[in-house]
């Protein structure tokens, strides 16, 4: 009777501020048993939500993640290595399942938290719009979006577009996108 209480499992969430999609409530969570209800509520309300920290570590040699999509991916690429210049890059054994609902926005960033700094996005359903900018402009765009709001960010992005700075790629189901470490990218899930 004197045992310690165990916490119910939770999912890490990033909830989008409806007035400014560049503002998210980071490091919040929802109990797994009510996650479905929250996602349905967010979809119905048009307020985006996503998880950037759903990870599975295959380095431990365990039997897998229990997610057939990730397990199959890992089985096919486990021993893959890639020659990059004079070095070799291997697949990071930590796989991220990044899911987002319509209306979710990830501000500009670099995927440099785990070397090698190549990120392969595989879209399984819906669509995502990726906007690529030089690193410092991407960081500045995030600052403007968070500090000055959507209208000022729109002005900045329109100016960069007129100047021919940046590129957009839209990813749909069964498409993949390789992100290189040389710049920044923001991701938006359209409604």
**DSSP code of 40?**
H
Question: 42 in helix, strand or coil?
Answer: helix
What is the rounded (10 degree) CA torsion for 52, 27, 154, 134? -60
User: Which stretches of the chain are DSSP H helices?
Assistant: 32-45, 68-77, 135-148, 150-162
Q: Which H helix or E strand runs over 51?
A: strand 49-51
pLDDT at 27: 59
Q: Which is it for the CA torsion 40, 122, 165, 106, positive or negative?
A: positive
pLDDT score recorded for residue 159: 97
Q: Of 191, 189, 179, 147, give the one whose Cα is nearest residue 51.
A: 189
Residue-wise pLDDT for 145-191, tens only, equals 999 998 999 999 999 999 999 999 999 998 999 888 889 999 998 87
Do strands 119-123 and 175-179 pair parallel, antiparallel, or not at all (unpaired)? antiparallel
Collapsed DSSP state (helix, strand, coil) of residue 117? coil
Q: Are 116 and 176 in contact (CB under 8 A)?
A: no
Which residues does 28 contact at the CB level (< 8 Å), separation at least 6? 12, 13, 14, 15
Ranges of the chain whose pLDDT falls below 70: 1-9, 25-27, 53, 61-63, 78-85, 89-90, 113-116
> What was the pLDDT predicted at 163?
97
Q: What is the pTM of this model?
A: 0.74
Residue 1 confidence (pLDDT): 46
Nearest to 54 by CA among 78, 29, 24, 33: 29
């Amino acid at each position: 009777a004197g045992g310690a209480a165990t916490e119910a499992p939770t999912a890490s969430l990033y909830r989008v501020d409806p007035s400014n999609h560049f503002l998210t409530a980071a490091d919040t969570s929802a109990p797994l048993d009510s996650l479905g209800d929250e996602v349905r509520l967010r979809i119905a309300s048009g307020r985006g939500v996503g998880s950037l920290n759903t990870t599975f570590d295959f380095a431990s040699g365990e039997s897998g993640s229990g997610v057939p999509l990730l397990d199959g991916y890992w089985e096919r690429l486990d021993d893959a290595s890639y020659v990059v210049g004079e070095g070799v890059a291997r697949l990071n054994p930590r796989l991220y399942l990044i899911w987002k609902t319509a209306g979710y926005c990830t501000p500009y960033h670099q995927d440099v938290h785990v070397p090698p700094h190549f990120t392969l996005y595989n879209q399984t359903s819906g669509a995502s719009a990726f906007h690529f900018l030089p690193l410092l402009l991407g960081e500045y765009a995030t600052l403007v979006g968070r500090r000055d709001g959507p209208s000022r960010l729109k002005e900045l992005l329109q100016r960069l577009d007129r100047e021919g700075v940046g590129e957009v790629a839209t990813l749909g189901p069964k498409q993949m996108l390789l992100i290189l470490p040389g710049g920044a990218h923001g991701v938006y899930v359209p409604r």
